Amino acid sequence: MSEPHIYFDDIPLGGETVFGHYDVTREEVLEFARKYDPQPFHLSDEEAAKTYFGRLSASGWHTCAMTMAVIARHVVATRQAGLGSPGIDELRWLKPVYPGDRLTVTGTVTDKTPSRSKPHIGTIRTETLVANQHGEPVMRYTSIVMMQRRPA
């Protein structure tokens, strides 16, 4: 693989990135639920109708997975010098995600910290927001990402 194009030093504080979109399908909602979150309201229209969701909805964990797919595709396509993540903070599911929704994933850089012990690495905090096709936020969290610094 060729050299990265985007390093820690290239990411502006306050910068916003639209990572891309994800179209939610009924088949994926059911497949994910059967495999990872087999609660009735993720598996059945009838059971979901009896709940707050009102109809079949995606698992929050499925929403996380769809979001990660969008972000990972963007990071690979733009050849970012990412080194992984030690985790996320303050994950919130704000509204249900339904089959037929189109999710848009956006990130805003809220903090950048060069490593004191490893000068070739920096850490970026990003407020990640996922919205549906109506612009309504459905999920948000703060991600922490380690990135390589630009070589001297």
pLDDT, position 151: 84
Task: Report the pLDDT value the prediction gives residue 2, as an integer from 0 to 100.
Answer: 63
Q: What percent of the chain has pLDDT over 70?
A: 97
When pLDDT is cut at 50, 70 and 90, the band that residue 4 belongs to is low
Whole-number pLDDT of residue 80: 86
Q: What is the largest CA-CA distance in the chain?
A: 60
Average pLDDT value for the chain: 94
* 74-109 pLDDT per residue, tens: 998 989 888 989 999 999 999 999 999 999 999 999
33-37, 77-81, 99-103, 120-124: segment of lowest average pLDDT: 77-81
| Count of CB atoms situated within 10 Å of the CB of 63 | 24
pLDDT of 5 > 90? The answer is: no
Nearest to 109 by CA among 4, 17, 9, 19: 17
How does strand 87-93 pair with strand 137-148? antiparallel
Determine the Cα–Cα distance for residues 10 and 130; give it in Å rounded to an integer: 24
Was domain 8-148 assigned CATH 3.10.129.10? yes
Helices (H) and strands (E) in the chain, counts: 4, 5
Residue 1: is its pLDDT beyond 90?
no
pLDDT, position 21: 98
